[in-house]
A and B are shown apart, each in its own frame.
Chain A
Amino acid sequence: NAGVTQTPKFRVLKTGQSMTLLCAQDMNHEYMYWYRQDPGMGLRLIHYSVGEGTTAKGEVPDGYNVSRLKKQNFLLGLESAAPSQTSVYFCAIGLASYEQYFGPGTRLTVT
């Protein structure tokens, strides 16, 4: 997965709980992204970052927050999990938008 790790791999949350997903890279890429993928659907961009200390909203940012305090790490937070956030979350890195390298994913279930 091109030097992209995601932690944790699986997680089950109860409605209202919070958690943070960690994406770490060892390739020194400027761009980092968080996507979610629901069954049978393509990926949807949640938030992205074009460099350390910067973040921006994607297509489906509501209910999520992100931080990029260090270049190699991109954190995705769920402050109050909802069942609608049950999904597989992928982190990606890249030098430019059209060539991204994805992590293995985090499978999150909210009950």
Chain B
Amino acid sequence: LAKTTQPISMDSYEGQEVNITCSHNNIATNDYITWYQQFPSQGPRFIIQGYKTKVTNEVASLFIPADRKSSTLSLPRVSLSDTAVYYCLVGPPIMTTDSWGKFQFGAGTQVVVTP
């Protein structure tokens, strides 16, 4: 059962801002939104997580509207090294035997950055 929907792929040029939107219409009240980045032949890397409004760190920003039915990961001024697959996940803060199924990696968004 798919919990999130995100584009399969996105192309960008170096120096541009990349915005990846994830839809999660059935998000629950206690669910958090988490984004991961995965380079080829490596494990995913935690980028950012948030619950509402806006979260920013040294890597990216996460924008969450008031209804929380979607979220947007923003990568400012991308470089070639930002070429990766980006995953959006929605799930509760604590995994239990009843909730693990909500925390699932989908196919992700393949971002390709070219010169």
Interface residues of A, Cβ cutoff 8 Å to B: 1, 31, 35, 40-45, 48, 50, 56, 58-59, 90, 92, 96-105
Contacts and interface: CB of A to CB of B under 8 A. Distances in A.
Interface of B: 32, 34, 41-46, 49, 87, 89, 91-97, 99-101, 103-108
A59 B43 contact: no
Grouping DSSP codes into helix (H, G, I), strand (E, B) and loop, the B interface class, with mixed when no group exceeds half, is: loop
A102 B41 CA distance: 12
Given A42-B106, A99-B34, A48 B95 contact: yes
Contacts of A35: 105
B48 to A, nearest CB: 10
Contacts of B105: 35, 42-44
Contacts of A98: 32, 34, 49, 89, 91-93, 103
